[in-house]
Amino acid sequence: MPTRWLRIGIPVLLVLIWLVGGSIGGPYFGKVDEVATNDQSSFLPSSAESTQVQQRLAEFTGGESIPAVVVVTGEGKLTASQLTEITTLTKTVEGVEGVGQLSPALPSDDGAAVQLFVPISTTGNVADTVAAVRSAIDAALPADLHAWVTGPAGFTADLVAGFLGIDGLLLAVALGAVFIILVIVYRSPLLPVLVLLTSTFALCVALLTVWWLAKAGIFVLNGQVQGILFILVIGAATDYALLYVARFREAIGTGKKRWDATVTAWRGAFEPILASGGTVIAGLLCLLLSDLASNRALGPIASIGIAFAVLSALTFLPALLALFGRTAFWPFIPHASDGDPGDNAERLVSDPSTPVRGFWARQARLVARHARPVWIVTTVVLLAASVGVLQLKADGVPQSDLVLGASQAREGQDVLAQHFAAGSGSPAYVVVPESRVAQAVTALAADTGIESVAATAKDTPSGQIGVSVQNGAPVYTLAGPPSSTPPQPTVVDGDVLLVATLSDKADSLAAEQTVRELRATFASDLGEGVALVGGPTAIDLDTNDTSIRDRTLIIPVILAVILLILMLLLRAVIAPVLLILSVILSYGAALGVSALVFDNVFHFPGADPAVPLYGFVFLVALGVDYNIFLMSRVREESKRHGTRPGILRGLVATGGVITSAGLVLAATFAALGVIPILFLAQLAFIVAFGVLLDTFVVRSLLVPAAAYDLGRVIWWPSSLSRASADSVHNSSHPVTAPATRRSRRAERADSPEL
């Protein structure tokens, strides 16, 4: 037994260490923008065509920039005076810091609109520059004209604006929801604060670590990864804290003093918390197999967060409770008279006529009396819900639909499509050898998805020159009066950059199909890899294709890894297989219901291919968490009482804490819905609904009923499947069957193992 000073000194030291870590990491919440990027092209693998083109654009254009398009309209056909005002507006926009030389104003064929191409430097903050351009236009634009800033830079700015609530609003909603649930669960003003401190300090230290890793360029951090990190750490740390608190409450309830209760609770919670965290980390690290940098970053970044959540739940919270003791539960302080939570479950077996108290005891009785019908009916219902997966459209969504709510870039693109070629401002770029330009231009001109073709020329006012083919040779033309010197394109390492304006919106499926056809044509006519097609549409296409490849590869790997961890934890084969099948069924049902809700309630345009992958990672890894909490306790109780009584005791003992944990995790993921980004809104619904399904159906009915029906065979091939006999054997009326002489002998022989 440690001395009194150690019993006080160790908790105090642990608390001080976490306070220092939290105080250092806290200020980094406001500094995430310094190391984050939302440029989609930076997430693609270097082998992608669009990535190779993107890396060479600056060589042809003379600077690192991303185009914005300003489209200006009036009440009808633009007058001469309005065109003059638009020309003046051009000079105003060029005066904004971070803006390069604008192209000449280009009127539409109907004379009702003008578009300006605005190069935005990527060396600064693109979103801030676009915001400054919009402000300058609003201040200088006459009342009879209307303007929108759209194009790739406009959409980037709107996307960044959508993520602005992550640091404040998201955390406030998530922590507020968790606090309310904890107050209802514990009916204590102090204990919820201690649990929230556990998750908050875990997040602070995790963010501190992640920030410096992103600063060093080891990971790519974006708003999407940042939001998931916040939610995952808060939810997981709170879940682990709830499990520890339940163990500590049990120990306090048996009359143990603070230090003894701390040691007992820590020993009981250590293995399931470590196994649960390890399962989530293992599942997340499988994302390292992804070809997308954002997915590869999420794996280790979220794993770091989970590691600190586990560490906080096993050090910071035990230290706090060791210092506060019973006071943490005030005014409902547990006492020794509260009894063992498994007593009600034991009465189900020993005396089925005795009334039992509490919801979970009645749930255990339902499982014991009707195990087979319960798991069969539950399985059928979940399978029926899974049918909705057939309606899930997860092959990508237009960039214009990524931001929910108002978007000036989306509105501007619609206006642009009314007066110009729909793909204006977001062209396809083709890098082709100078000797093969004629063939490439011929192929582009023959494609109905291409409106016009130009070549880059750095020394011209607009940066581009027209290009056509005559007698099998390229002919270059410059807008304006004829020049004595024929214009020539910019040639870099023997290559020319062609700019192809698309007939369809750059983020449409039709535009993506055009890019696919162009790549196939170039590969056939010019040879594989001779001409490379890039640009915003190609980036979207390559991202979607890579995401589909990732989920096809990673999902089976995650299942195999988690199955192996469960086998090591439970020292069995049958039980882990049962748990894996249950979470797969739960995932299918959650995805099926989500697809129906997305289509018929929210009317979403579709889903990103990464949505099912992320949903799988979180639902399978976190869903297994609850089964680990349950089955680790069931195994512990089975050693003492036999498998079937152990299942009932484990269900009753863990019912409250797992339900609370499920509500907390569902609430934290649902908080992602406050960020107006389609991907996060869909992920929020899938995971929140799936967690509730896991908590109230799979873990409460399906798993215990199936395990009860199978009996001790679930522990095969461990000795527990052979050495212990259940107290109950009658499969038709299990709660009324008396224990046989053989089973009583086996149970007496089994008890000393603990």
Asked if residue 271 belongs to a domain, the reply is yes
Residue with the two structure tokens 């092959």: 395
In a domain, residue 180? The reply is yes
| Residue that finishes a domain, picked among 509, 534, 559 | 534
Contact, 85 vs 68, CB < 8 A?
A: no
Q: At which of 479, 499, 534 does a domain end? A: 534
Query: How many separate domains does the chain show?
Result: 3
What is the DSSP secondary-structure string of 572-637? Answer: -SHHHHHHHHHHHHHHHHHHHHHHHHHHHTS------THHHHHHHHHHHHHHHHHHHHHHHHHHHH
In DSSP terms, which residues pair with 117 in a beta bridge? 69
Q: Can you give the pLDDT at residue 741?
A: 39
Range of the domain at 250: 10-38+165-335
Distance of CA 116 to the CA centre of its chain: 37
Q: Is 139 part of any domain?
A: yes
pTM of the model: 0.82
User: Any idea what the CATH number is for the domain that residue 512 is in?
Assistant: 3.30.70
Among positive and negative, which fits the CA dihedral 405, 411, 417, 423?
Answer: negative
Q: Do residue 189 and residue 148 come from a single domain?
A: no
What residue has token string 């192929």?
Answer: 443
Count of other CB atoms within 10 angstroms of residue 18:
24
DSSP secondary structure of 163-215: TTTIIIIIHHHHHHHHHHHHHHHH--SSHHHHHHHHHHHHHHHHHHHHHHHHH
User: Residue 127 maps to which CATH number?
Assistant: 3.30.70.1320
Residues 183 and 268 in one domain: yes
pLDDT of residue 442: 92
Cβ atoms < 10 Å from Cβ of 213: 17
Within the chain, how many helices (H) and strands (E) appear?
Answer: 25, 11
Residue 623 lies in a domain: no
- Residue 636 tokens, joined: 């512990």
- Structure confidence at residue 188 (pLDDT): 86
**Residue 92 in domain:** yes
136 and 194 both lie in a single domain: no
Quote the CA–CA distance of 266 and 256 in Å, as a whole number: 13
The CA angle 394-396-397, to the nearest 5 degrees, is 115
- pLDDT, residue 88, reads 84
Please say whether the beta carbons of 714 and 574 come within 8 A: yes
User: How much is the pLDDT for 482?
Assistant: 55
Same domain membership, residue 271 and residue 148 = no
Residue 524 within a domain: yes
Note the pLDDT of residue 26. 84
Q: Both 189 and 301 in a single domain?
A: yes
Per run of 10 residues, the mean pLDDT along the chain (length 754 residues) is 75 92 85 70 76 87 82 89 86 87 83 89 83 90 89 86 72 85 86 91 92 84 80 88 88 84 89 87 90 85 93 94 88 63 52 61 86 94 93 83 86 88 86 93 92 86 83 80 70 92 88 93 89 91 89 90 87 90 91 93 88 88 79 85 86 85 87 86 92 89 91 85 50 38 40 30
Residues 668 and 255: their CA atoms lie apart, in Å, by: 34
- Domain membership flag for residue 589: no
- Do 189 and 330 reside in the same domain of the chain? yes
Q: Do 126 and 192 sit in the same domain of this protein?
A: no
Note the pLDDT of residue 749.
Answer: 38
Q: What is the rounded distance in angstroms from the CA atom of residue 750 to the CA atom of residue 725?
A: 9
Q: How far apart are CA 542 and CA 545, in angstroms?
A: 5
